[in-house]
Amino acid sequence: MPLVDAKRALLGRLFDHAPLFPPASMTLPDALAEDARAQASPDAWILGRFVVPEGVEVEGRELAIVGGATERQGNDLYIEGSSKIRCGAAIPTVEELAAFVRGCREDDVVFKATAGLHHAYPTDAGEHGFLNLLAACVFADEEDALRAQRGAFELDAESFRWNGRAAGPGELEHVRAHLLHSIGSCSFFEPIGELHALGIL
Protein backbone atom coordinates (compact mmCIF):
# COMPACT_ATOMS: atom_id res chain seq x y z
CA MET A 1 0.00 0.00 0.00
CA PRO A 2 1.33 3.48 -0.85
CA LEU A 3 2.09 5.73 2.11
CA VAL A 4 0.22 8.63 0.46
CA ASP A 5 -3.04 8.47 -1.48
CA ALA A 6 -3.29 9.87 -5.00
CA LYS A 7 -5.03 13.09 -3.97
CA ARG A 8 -2.31 13.97 -1.49
CA ALA A 9 0.45 12.88 -3.86
CA LEU A 10 -0.84 15.22 -6.58
CA LEU A 11 -2.15 18.16 -4.56
CA GLY A 12 0.03 18.19 -1.43
CA ARG A 13 1.62 21.64 -0.90
CA LEU A 14 0.61 22.55 -4.45
CA PHE A 15 -0.34 26.21 -3.99
CA ASP A 16 2.27 28.70 -2.84
CA HIS A 17 0.26 31.51 -1.28
CA ALA A 18 0.93 34.97 -2.72
CA PRO A 19 -1.70 37.41 -1.38
CA LEU A 20 0.86 40.25 -1.33
CA PHE A 21 1.00 40.13 -5.13
CA PRO A 22 -1.53 41.30 -7.78
CA PRO A 23 -4.38 41.01 -8.25
CA ALA A 24 -4.92 40.51 -4.48
CA SER A 25 -2.21 43.03 -3.49
CA MET A 26 -2.99 42.80 0.22
CA THR A 27 -1.12 44.67 2.90
CA LEU A 28 1.25 42.49 4.89
CA PRO A 29 -1.02 42.32 7.99
CA ASP A 30 -4.04 41.38 5.84
CA ALA A 31 -1.99 38.86 3.85
CA LEU A 32 -0.71 37.19 7.02
CA ALA A 33 -4.25 37.02 8.39
CA GLU A 34 -5.45 35.40 5.16
CA ASP A 35 -2.55 32.96 5.27
CA ALA A 36 -3.35 32.09 8.88
CA ARG A 37 -6.91 31.35 7.78
CA ALA A 38 -5.53 29.04 5.07
CA GLN A 39 -3.24 27.30 7.55
CA ALA A 40 -6.21 26.70 9.86
CA SER A 41 -8.45 25.27 7.14
CA PRO A 42 -9.06 21.53 6.65
CA ASP A 43 -7.32 21.86 3.26
CA ALA A 44 -4.07 23.25 4.70
CA TRP A 45 -2.21 20.18 3.40
CA ILE A 46 -2.52 21.76 -0.08
CA LEU A 47 -0.88 24.98 1.13
CA GLY A 48 2.75 25.52 0.11
CA ARG A 49 5.06 28.40 0.97
CA PHE A 50 4.13 32.02 1.65
CA VAL A 51 5.40 34.19 -1.21
CA VAL A 52 7.07 37.50 -0.35
CA PRO A 53 9.01 40.16 -2.24
CA GLU A 54 12.73 40.28 -1.54
CA GLY A 55 13.37 42.18 1.69
CA VAL A 56 10.14 41.19 3.44
CA GLU A 57 10.68 38.98 6.47
CA VAL A 58 8.05 36.74 8.05
CA GLU A 59 8.74 34.63 11.11
CA GLY A 60 7.53 31.08 11.52
CA ARG A 61 6.55 30.44 7.91
CA GLU A 62 8.36 28.75 5.02
CA LEU A 63 8.92 31.45 2.40
CA ALA A 64 9.25 31.77 -1.34
CA ILE A 65 11.25 34.97 -1.93
CA VAL A 66 10.71 36.80 -5.22
CA GLY A 67 13.25 39.22 -6.62
CA GLY A 68 12.74 40.33 -10.20
CA ALA A 69 12.60 37.28 -12.45
CA THR A 70 13.88 34.89 -9.79
CA GLU A 71 12.25 33.08 -6.90
CA ARG A 72 14.16 31.35 -4.13
CA GLN A 73 12.70 28.57 -2.04
CA GLY A 74 15.33 27.40 0.42
CA ASN A 75 18.23 26.19 -1.72
CA ASP A 76 16.12 26.03 -4.89
CA LEU A 77 16.04 28.87 -7.42
CA TYR A 78 13.32 29.30 -10.04
CA ILE A 79 14.03 31.60 -12.98
CA GLU A 80 11.33 32.92 -15.27
CA GLY A 81 11.67 31.51 -18.75
CA SER A 82 13.69 28.46 -17.77
CA SER A 83 12.32 27.00 -14.53
CA LYS A 84 9.36 29.27 -13.86
CA ILE A 85 6.47 30.16 -16.13
CA ARG A 86 3.96 32.95 -15.71
CA CYS A 87 0.45 32.02 -16.87
CA GLY A 88 -1.35 35.30 -16.13
CA ALA A 89 -1.41 38.79 -17.67
CA ALA A 90 0.32 37.87 -20.94
CA ILE A 91 -1.20 34.37 -20.99
CA PRO A 92 0.93 31.84 -22.89
CA THR A 93 -0.83 29.97 -25.67
CA VAL A 94 -1.53 26.27 -25.28
CA GLU A 95 1.37 25.61 -27.61
CA GLU A 96 3.75 27.81 -25.63
CA LEU A 97 2.81 26.29 -22.27
CA ALA A 98 2.96 22.77 -23.71
CA ALA A 99 6.43 23.44 -25.16
CA PHE A 100 7.62 24.76 -21.79
CA VAL A 101 6.39 21.67 -19.92
CA ARG A 102 7.83 19.36 -22.56
CA GLY A 103 11.18 21.14 -22.48
CA CYS A 104 11.39 20.88 -18.68
CA ARG A 105 10.56 17.18 -18.87
CA GLU A 106 13.21 16.54 -21.53
CA ASP A 107 15.87 18.58 -19.70
CA ASP A 108 15.07 17.20 -16.21
CA VAL A 109 14.13 20.68 -14.95
CA VAL A 110 11.80 21.07 -11.98
CA PHE A 111 9.63 24.12 -12.62
CA LYS A 112 7.16 26.37 -10.88
CA ALA A 113 4.10 27.94 -12.49
CA THR A 114 2.55 31.17 -11.29
CA ALA A 115 -0.25 33.65 -12.01
CA GLY A 116 -3.52 32.99 -13.79
CA LEU A 117 -4.02 29.46 -12.47
CA HIS A 118 -6.91 30.00 -10.04
CA HIS A 119 -9.31 27.81 -12.00
CA ALA A 120 -9.40 24.04 -12.31
CA TYR A 121 -10.27 24.10 -16.02
CA PRO A 122 -9.72 26.60 -18.86
CA THR A 123 -11.90 29.69 -18.74
CA ASP A 124 -13.73 31.63 -21.43
CA ALA A 125 -11.19 34.42 -20.84
CA GLY A 126 -8.42 32.11 -22.05
CA GLU A 127 -6.90 31.27 -18.65
CA HIS A 128 -5.38 27.83 -18.26
CA GLY A 129 -6.72 25.29 -15.77
CA PHE A 130 -4.48 24.02 -12.99
CA LEU A 131 -5.86 20.48 -13.36
CA ASN A 132 -4.98 20.70 -17.05
CA LEU A 133 -1.43 21.72 -16.19
CA LEU A 134 -1.15 18.84 -13.72
CA ALA A 135 -2.44 16.44 -16.38
CA ALA A 136 0.03 17.79 -18.94
CA CYS A 137 2.82 17.03 -16.48
CA VAL A 138 1.52 13.60 -15.51
CA PHE A 139 0.33 12.18 -18.83
CA ALA A 140 2.35 14.19 -21.38
CA ASP A 141 0.13 14.76 -24.49
CA GLU A 142 0.57 18.32 -23.32
CA GLU A 143 -1.55 20.17 -25.89
CA ASP A 144 -4.52 17.81 -25.53
CA ALA A 145 -4.29 17.87 -21.75
CA LEU A 146 -4.19 21.68 -21.67
CA ARG A 147 -7.25 21.90 -23.94
CA ALA A 148 -9.35 19.37 -22.00
CA GLN A 149 -12.66 20.80 -20.80
CA ARG A 150 -14.56 20.65 -17.52
CA GLY A 151 -15.17 17.10 -16.33
CA ALA A 152 -12.29 15.56 -18.26
CA PHE A 153 -10.27 14.60 -15.18
CA GLU A 154 -11.02 12.41 -12.19
CA LEU A 155 -9.04 12.30 -8.96
CA ASP A 156 -9.62 10.15 -5.90
CA ALA A 157 -7.49 8.28 -3.37
CA GLU A 158 -6.55 5.61 -5.91
CA SER A 159 -5.53 7.57 -9.01
CA PHE A 160 -5.63 10.63 -11.27
CA ARG A 161 -7.47 9.69 -14.47
CA TRP A 162 -7.87 11.17 -17.93
CA ASN A 163 -8.83 9.80 -21.32
CA GLY A 164 -8.68 6.16 -20.29
CA ARG A 165 -5.35 6.51 -18.50
CA ALA A 166 -4.60 6.44 -14.79
CA ALA A 167 -1.65 7.46 -12.63
CA GLY A 168 -1.31 6.19 -9.08
CA PRO A 169 0.29 7.77 -6.02
CA GLY A 170 3.86 6.73 -6.82
CA GLU A 171 3.79 8.23 -10.30
CA LEU A 172 2.12 11.39 -9.03
CA GLU A 173 4.72 11.84 -6.29
CA HIS A 174 7.44 11.42 -8.90
CA VAL A 175 5.93 14.12 -11.13
CA ARG A 176 5.65 16.57 -8.24
CA ALA A 177 9.22 15.88 -7.13
CA HIS A 178 10.85 15.88 -10.57
CA LEU A 179 8.77 18.11 -12.84
CA LEU A 180 6.12 20.44 -11.30
CA HIS A 181 7.15 21.81 -7.91
CA SER A 182 4.26 24.15 -7.16
CA ILE A 183 1.84 26.78 -8.41
CA GLY A 184 1.84 30.35 -7.12
CA SER A 185 -1.59 31.85 -6.48
CA CYS A 186 -2.61 35.12 -4.83
CA SER A 187 -5.71 33.26 -3.60
CA PHE A 188 -5.67 29.96 -1.74
CA PHE A 189 -9.41 29.63 -1.31
CA GLU A 190 -10.44 30.23 -4.94
CA PRO A 191 -8.73 27.12 -6.40
CA ILE A 192 -9.65 25.13 -3.27
CA GLY A 193 -13.28 26.16 -3.74
CA GLU A 194 -13.22 24.87 -7.31
CA LEU A 195 -11.85 21.51 -6.14
CA HIS A 196 -14.72 21.30 -3.64
CA ALA A 197 -17.26 22.22 -6.32
CA LEU A 198 -15.93 19.41 -8.51
CA GLY A 199 -16.24 16.91 -5.66
CA ILE A 200 -12.48 16.26 -5.58
CA LEU A 201 -12.19 17.57 -2.01
Per-residue pLDDT reduced to its tens digit, 108-161? 999 999 999 999 999 999 999 999 999 999 999 999 999 999 999 999 999 999
Neighbours of 62 (CB within 10 A): 13
pLDDT in tens, 84-98: 999 998 899 999 999
Mean of the per-residue pLDDT values of the chain: 96
Q: List, for residues 40-57, the tens digit of each pLDDT value.
A: 999 999 999 999 999 999
- pLDDT at position 1: 47
Residue ranges of domains in the chain: 6-197
Q: Is the pLDDT of residue 2 over 80?
A: no
Q: Determine what percent of the chain is predicted with pLDDT higher than 70.
A: 99
d(CA 106, CA 14): 22
Q: Across residues 7-11, what is the average pLDDT?
A: 98
Q: H/E element holding 183?
A: strand 180-185
Task: Indicate whether 19 pLDDT > 80.
Answer: yes
Query: Nearest CA to 117 among 140, 141, 102, 137?
Result: 137
Amino acid at 72: R
Residue 3 has pLDDT above 70, yes or no: no
- For every residue of 87-116, DSSP letters joined together read -SSSPPPHHHHHHHHHHHHHTT--EEEESS
